[in-house]
Amino acid sequence: MINNNSLIPLILSLLAGLSTVIGAFILFFSKAENKKLITFALSYSAGVMITVSFTDLFISAEETLSKHNGNIKGVLYSLLFLLIGALMALLIDKFIPEAPKTNDNTNEKLYRVGFVSMIALMIHNFPEGIATFISGYENTSLGISIALAIALHNIPEGISIAMPIYYSTKSKFKAFKYTLYSGLAEPLGAFLAFLFLRPYINDIILSITFALVAGIMLYISFAELIPAARRYKYHSIYLFSIFLGIFTIILSHTYSH
């Protein structure tokens, strides 16, 4: 049955997923794509993810695995699973179909760009929901940190779906609907983790998961979020937001320990 340990991470994953819809609302209520806000969200999310990976996830994995296997093996196993997590994220990227790049702005092709973006981000969001649930199930403050980072980078993802759908169909409802579908993949992943993975959660499984998630989050930060944020050339916002994300997690430790 659902108890507080399960309910909180399920709610966190739902909120993180629904933040995708914020991207659609930003598009609807602004005359143009708010590039400064996108830069802030991407950079802040990268700062949060990198800091959480090194100060929470990897350290927790290394401590537990060292306790069971000795210091040297514990560190090596932690690094191995971190690398596997990064490779998993890389493979997900490779197998997701890319939206077609075209200068022909016909409605049909724009619509296809939005539809392919929705499918790609659903695949991307599903494992994030699993990671949010497993992390939050054991440690609520860690789950909140991960959900915050995911929520912030889901906002520009929502824009990337809503924009081509809206401009190709002239329908706010369709743009909202497709963005919502993408976001709901997050709580779906969390719910399936609750149904099938929860009975198997123990110290070793948690440690391996933490190291895997650290690798996934580091890959997302360095391969996707930071390059995307720098593309808009708001360098001051980019640097400020990354450090703000780092400071947020470090300061949160004073309240969670």
pLDDT, position 35: 77
User: Residue ranges of the alpha helices (H) in the chain?
Assistant: 4-29, 35-52, 58-69, 71-95, 107-138, 140-169, 172-192, 203-219, 226-231, 235-256
Residues 134-165 have pLDDT tens digits of 888 878 888 888 888 888 878 877 887 887 78
* pLDDT for 191: 93
Measured CA distances, 164 to 157, 171, 173, 210 (Å): 12, 11, 13, 36
What confidence score (pLDDT) does residue 161 get? 84
DSSP 200: G
**pTM for the model:** 0.72
Q: Which amino acid is at 63?
A: E
Res 95: pLDDT: 73
Domain boundaries, given as residue ranges, for the chain: 4-26+34-256
Which portions of the chain are predicted below pLDDT 70?
1, 30-34, 96-107, 255-257
pLDDT at 185 (0 to 100): 93
Tell me which residue of 62, 52, 30 sits closest to 221, measured CA to CA: 52
